[in-house]
């Protein structure tokens, strides 16, 4: 497992660059808001709508808030939501896939037909509906995003479970009188963990994207808190006069997504040496907003 | 074939019904209603409004009424845009969204298949590396990043194309390109992988050994089987394009379906939200069905139902 990640992150120069870029963004997201002389919502009355300068490296926004601080506070929010949502998707997708794969037969068939049907629906619609119905708060946002991102994971875990189910140690456990629940929890889940972790990692950029999309529409994170989606939406409104308000957050988002995608590809390759022929739903999801 | 079609249609209708039901009850349990405005209404006015829209009836009766209306193709009156029915609003918005979305899908699939095939045929050469890199980068450029940048460059700075609105064909160009870009990248990667795999298939090797012209091998032997996974991605891609168009319509101020959905959601205009969701779901289900029917044309071995084409 560790070898897998090491291989993916440090395999060649290009993936090392991406790994480094991702680490830089994360470290800056932790450090910048902590050491910045400006607070998230602090207004510098002498520098409203100002281009990048010594006092404000990324410039300031339309009401004079430091864009460097805001960009990396936004990074914190975007990344935290992505990680939490991914956690939620693991909590749903893993048991779902394991149960379907382990029970097999008709139960498996029905459970997978449901997954297929859900694939056909544009999920952002449902996330938006949930947000409208239950109010805009960050907790709901990540739970809702996680609740719609588990489909790929369920499929992968099911496939792995089908293989693991045939193993001798599962037979041995059954012969020793272990119940189904115990076999799934103690013998199946630990052994499908590797691929599940890889695919969970691949979920992260998709969720970052979805969050920025929803915040861009004004339905996600609310002022004075911020996220990349909020900043890019603001930047898009003022780009004709103040390019930096769009360019910095947009670049950060693009770099993060690029790095995640490249590392994700490497991970997938390391896990499965064959060229993937099936349309990898995760790649599709990464592309979708 | 007919049995298959009937079964698939029935399954699609069940999915549609499930979507309608979930969304209907989801919207009704939401706190707040369509008539909560800045201006407080007197209780009598509000009661009359609720009665006029049948919101005072029990939930189940409202649900039955809505299903009945749906069967007649009536999506009801808009709660907020008082002079319009939802049908009228959607009739205005749908052509805009379909134009932009269709153009984007054609761009993404057409160029993506061409680029992916080109990359796979020049495998591990410089052309392959550049195309693969561009495709990976393209995936990292979502519409919310690309759309504003395109406006900044092509509309504001260069002034070649209009920045917003929807009156001439030129207005569809930038939105379609912004929408298509990540899917163009996805189609390229998918096609590359699939074509590269098919290149090693025995029937392609035989064709090569017989010395058939490359053009003929690609068109007759390589692409049809290689495109099957690509075609199966058309369904999810179309669904995602519809969702992506919400942002695109916002950035380019297009009066499309996505805008009505977002506006309806923000204003708690239940009927408008329901209407757009019904139209979205129908579009996607129909499209997925069409994609599945396409399969059997690409690979005669895939027989749909019991009596397949020629079987």
pLDDT in tens, A87-144: 999 999 999 999 999 888 899 988 988 887 777 667 777 788 888 777 777 788 888 8
pLDDT at position A279, please? 37
Contacts with A, B 32-91, CB within 8 Å: none
Find the domain containing B148 and state its range: 94-268
pLDDT at position A120 is 66
Using CB atoms, which residue from A135, A250, A286 is nearest to B139?
A: A286
Domain count, chain B: 1
Report the alpha-carbon distance of residue B91 to residue B84 in Å, rounded: 11
Tens digit of pLDDT at every position of chain B (311 positions):
678 788 888 888 888 888 888 888 888 777 666 666 656 677 777 777 777 777 777 888 888 888 888 888 888 888 777 778 888 888 888 888 888 899 999 999 999 999 998 888 888 788 888 888 888 888 778 888 888 888 888 887 777 877 777 777 777 888 898 889 888 988 998 898 888 888 888 888 888 888 888 888 888 888 888 888 888 888 778 877 877 788 888 888 888 888 888 888 878 788 888 888 888 888 888 888 888 777 767 766 665 554 444 33
Which whole number is the average pLDDT over A147-163? Answer: 88
> Using CB atoms within 10 A of its CB, is residue A206 exposed (0-12), middle (13-18) or buried (19+)?
buried
pTM: 0.80
Domain span at residue A123 reads 2-288
Distance CA A86, CA A210 (A): 12
Q: What is the pLDDT of residues A62-81, one digit of tens each?
A: 888 888 899 999 999 999 99
pLDDT of residue B114: 92
CA B5 and chain centroid, separation: 22
Of A133, A239, A278, the CB nearest to B29: A133
How is residue A50 annotated by DSSP? P
CB contact under 8 Å between A289 and B230, yes or no, is no
| ipTM of the complex in this document | 0.75
Q: What is the CATH number of the domain that holds A224?
A: 1.10.3720.10
Distance CA A89, CA A210 (A): 14
Q: Is residue B33 part of a domain?
A: no
CA-based nearest distance A101→chain B, Å: 23
Residue A23 clears pLDDT 90, i.e. is over it: yes
Burial class (CB in 10 A: 0-12, 13-18, 19+), A211: buried
What percent of chain A shows pLDDT beyond 90? Answer: 18
For A257, name the nearest residue in chain B, comparing CA atoms only.
B140
**pLDDT 10s digits, A162-204:** 888 888 888 899 899 888 888 888 888 888 887 888 888 888 8
What the block records as the tokens of B166 is 């929807």
CA of B239 to nearest chain A CA: how many angstroms apart? 5
Count of domains observed in chain A: 1
Please report which confidence band the pLDDT of residue A26 belongs to, taking 50, 70 and 90 as the band edges: very high
Q: Minimal CA–CA distance to A242: which of A49, A65, A43, A63? A: A49
Contact between residue B196 and residue B188 where contact means Cβ atoms under 8 Å apart: no
Choose the mutation target among B14, B140, B200 for the interface with A, i.e. most A CBs under 10 Å: B140
Greatest alpha-carbon pair distance for chain A in Å reads 77
SS3 call for A47: coil
Question: How far away is chain A from the Cα of B231, in angstroms, using its nearest Cα?
Answer: 9
Using pLDDT thresholds of 50, 70 and 90, give the confidence band for residue A6: confident
The residue assigned the tokens 């808001």 is A33
Burial class (CB in 10 A: 0-12, 13-18, 19+), B301: exposed
* B286 part of a folded domain: no
pLDDT digits (tens, 9 = 90+) for B138-175: 877 888 888 888 888 888 777 787 777 777 777 788 88
């Amino acid at each position: 497992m560790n070898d897998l990640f090491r291989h993916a992150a440090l395999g060649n120069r290009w993936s090392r660059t991406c790994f480094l870029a991702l680490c830089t963004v994360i470290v800056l997201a932790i450090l910048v808001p902590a050491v910045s002389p400006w607070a998230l919502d602090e207004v510098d009355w002498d520098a409203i709508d100002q281009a990048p300068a010594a006092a404000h490296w990324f410039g300031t926004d339309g009401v004079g808030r430091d864009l460097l601080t805001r960009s990396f506070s936004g990074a914190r929010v975007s990344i935290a939501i992505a990680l939490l949502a991914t956690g939620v998707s693991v909590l749903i997708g893993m048991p779902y896939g394991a149960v379907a794969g382990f029970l097999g037969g008709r139960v498996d068939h029905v459970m997978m037909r449901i997954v297929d049907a859900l694939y056909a629906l544009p999920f952002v619609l449902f996330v938006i509906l949930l947000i409208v119905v239950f109010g805009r708060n960050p907790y709901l946002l990540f739970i809702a995003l996680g609740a719609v991102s588990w489909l790929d994971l369920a499929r992968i875990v099911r496939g792995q479970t089908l293989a693991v189910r045939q193993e001798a140690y599962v037979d041995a456990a059954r012969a020793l009188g272990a119940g189904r629940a115990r076999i799934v929890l103690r013998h199946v889940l630990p052994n499908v963990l590797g691929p599940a972790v890889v695919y969970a990692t691949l979920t992260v950029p998709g969720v970052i994207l979805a969050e920025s999309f929803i915040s861009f529409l004004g339905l996600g994170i609310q002022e004075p808190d911020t996220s990349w989606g909020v900043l890019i939406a603001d930047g898009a409104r003022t780009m004709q006069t103040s390019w930096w308000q769009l360019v910095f957050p947009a670049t950060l988002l693009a770099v993060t997504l690029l790095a995640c995608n490249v590392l994700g590809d490497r991970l997938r390759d390391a896990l499965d040496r064959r060229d993937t022929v099936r349309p990898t739903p995760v790649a599709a999801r990464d592309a979708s907003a | 074939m007919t049995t298959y079609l009937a079964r698939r249609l029935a399954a699609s209708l069940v999915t549609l019904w499930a979507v309608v039901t979930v969304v209907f009850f989801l919207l009704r349990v939401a706190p707040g209603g369509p008539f909560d405005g800045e201006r407080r209404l007197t209780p009598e006015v509000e009661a009359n409004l609720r009665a006029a829209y049948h919101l005072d009836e029990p939930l189940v009766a409202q649900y039955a009424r809505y299903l009945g209306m749906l069967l007649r193709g009536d999506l009801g009156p808009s709660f907020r845009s008082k002079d319009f029915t939802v049908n009228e609003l959607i009739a205005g918005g749908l052509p805009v969204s379909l134009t932009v979305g269709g153009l984007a899908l054609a761009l993404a699939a057409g160029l993506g298949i061409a680029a992916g095939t080109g990359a796979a045929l020049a495998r591990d050469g410089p052309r392959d590396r550049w195309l693969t890199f561009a495709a990976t980068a393209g995936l990292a450029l979502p519409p919310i990043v690309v759309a504003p940048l395109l406006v900044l460059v092509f509309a504001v700075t260069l002034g070649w194309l209009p920045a917003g609105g929807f009156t001439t064909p030129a207005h569809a160009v930038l939105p379609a390109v912004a929408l298509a870009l990540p899917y163009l990248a996805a189609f390229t990667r998918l096609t590359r992988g699939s074509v590269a795999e098919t290149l090693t298939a025995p029937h392609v090797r035989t064709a090569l050994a017989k010395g058939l012209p490359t053009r003929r091998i690609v068109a007759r032997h390589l692409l049809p089987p290689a495109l099957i996974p690509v075609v199966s991605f058309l369904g999810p891609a179309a669904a995602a394009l519809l969702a992506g168009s919400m942002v695109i319509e916002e950035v380019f101020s297009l009066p499309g379906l996505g805008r009505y959905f977002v506006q309806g959601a923000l204003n708690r205009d239940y009927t408008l939200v329901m209407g757009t969701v019904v139209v979205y779901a129908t579009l996607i289900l129909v499209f997925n069905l069409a994609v599945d029917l396409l399969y059997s044309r690409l690979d005669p071995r895939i027989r749909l139902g019991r009596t397949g084409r020629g079987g």
